[in-house]
Amino acid sequence: MSEAEKLGPDYELDLGWMDQTGPWDTRAEEGRNGLTLADIQVGEYGRVPDESDNQTGRPRGSAPRSGSYRIGNYAVRTKSEIWLDNASFLYEEALQRQWSSATDVPWHTIEPLPDDIEQAQCQMATFLTEVEFVAGDVPARWVSQTTPDFFEARQLLTAQVMDESRHMDVFRKRAMANGGGLMAATGATSGFVGSIDLSRDFTEMSARLHISGEGAVLTIFRMGELMAYNDAEKAMYRLCAQDEARHVAYGVMHMRYMAETAPERHEEINCYFDEAEAGILSGSANPAGQAPILSEPLAILLGGGIAKFDEGFKKLVALRRRQIQEYKKRVVSAGFGARFENGRSRINEILEQAAAA
């Protein structure tokens, strides 16, 4: 019996769906890096609306269906609120550079360390586990708030969530890999880190998370070589830095797009940078003023033990200065450099003081 006969003798094929297509005769061609998201932005399918009225989860470019529920009730439906020009590129990069915290970190290279170093490393690992938890949780919330018409930006956020999940587990693994364990929660998530989650707007969130928060963490990861005592720790910081650079790039590229397409929001966005700088300055200007649970482990790791705390502390001051310099570069690159020329930002003052010290 044929499949059609199984449906019953009176069944007639409908085939109405065959007339309901998006633009037809599409032939997306793979490029040098395979068939990427950029390669399928062909004709109508590549057109991203400035405003999206899609509330039904309809894939961009497909034929609409009448009588659909409002599936998503998406809050983010204005392109400038979430878009960045190179979302497709960053997404493909994220896919190609996924790594395994189980097998890409040479865990066997970890050997017993002096107690103070092990404790400092475990305290840092505990802190970073907390931070990475927020870094995954917050973008995840915004994924479901965004219209599917902006799926490139949306999928890049989904890729970030996967990255952060791995960061969270790699530091947890480090805490447990060498006779130590998790130490006290630092409470980082109740201060600035936690405030990221209170953002009412995606761009506000991105300024806090991508540019300010993850920017500062990226500097720490980039200096990971100085805090590492074996190849496993080196690999851990290096691989995380690679992912983190992509997350920071999201924020910078989004801000740039926003600066170009929504000049009416300049003032408001400068307020987010004011807030970010207040946080950075209070920590960077005076590392000693930071909670010991955050500054002491870093200084001990950078110096090489409690006995070399002073040396480590000097390196910590240099790390904080580098965090500010890199933050400033990002804000300039995002199109908001005027704040450093017109006296709005206090960053220059701090950098000059640091240079004179």
Considering only residues 76, 87, 124, 135, which one is a binding residue for Fe ion as defined by CB under 5 A? 135
Rounded to an integer, what distance in angstroms lies between the CA atom of residue 248 and that of residue 212? 9
Nearer to Fe ion, 92 or 214 (CB): 214
Q: Which residues contact 146 (CB under 8 A, 6 or more apart)?
A: 74, 75, 76, 82, 153, 154, 157, 202
Compute, in degrees rounded to 10, the torsion defined by CA atoms 133, 135, 140, 146: 170
Q: Are the C-beta atoms of residues 272 and 327 closer than 8 Å to each other?
A: no
Closer Cβ to Fe ion, 133 or 151, answer by number? 133
Segment near Fe ion (CB under 5 A); pick from 57-65, 145-153, 211-219, 291-299: 211-219
Q: How far is the CB of 224 from Fe ion (least distance, A)?
A: 13
Contact string 231-250 vs Fe ion (x = CB under 5 A)? -------------x--x---
Stretch that binds Fe ion, among 84-92, 131-139, 175-183, 191-199 (CB under 5 A): 131-139
CB proximity list for 297: less than 8 A, separation 6 or greater: 119, 120, 121, 123, 124, 127
Residue type, position 309, single letter: F
Distance of closest approach, residue 350 Cβ to Fe ion, in angstroms: 25
Residue 296 interacting with Fe ion (CB under 5 A): no
146 forms beta bridges with 76
Q: Binding string, 65-104, against Fe ion, x = CB under 5 A? A: ----------------------------------------
Instruction: Return d(Cα 159, Cα 139) in angstroms, integer.
Output: 10
Residue found under tokens 């705390």: 309
Of 195-203, 214-222, 277-285, 306-314, the segment contacting Fe ion by CB under 5 A is 214-222
Binding segment toward Fe ion, per CB under 5 A, in 14-22, 164-172, 198-206, 336-344: 164-172
Would you count residue 214 as binding Fe ion (CB under 5 A)? yes
Q: Residues in contact with Fe ion, total (CB under 5 A)?
A: 7
Residue 171: in which H helix or E strand, if any? helix 151-175
Chain positions contacting Fe ion, by CB under 5 A: 132, 135, 164, 167, 214, 244, 247
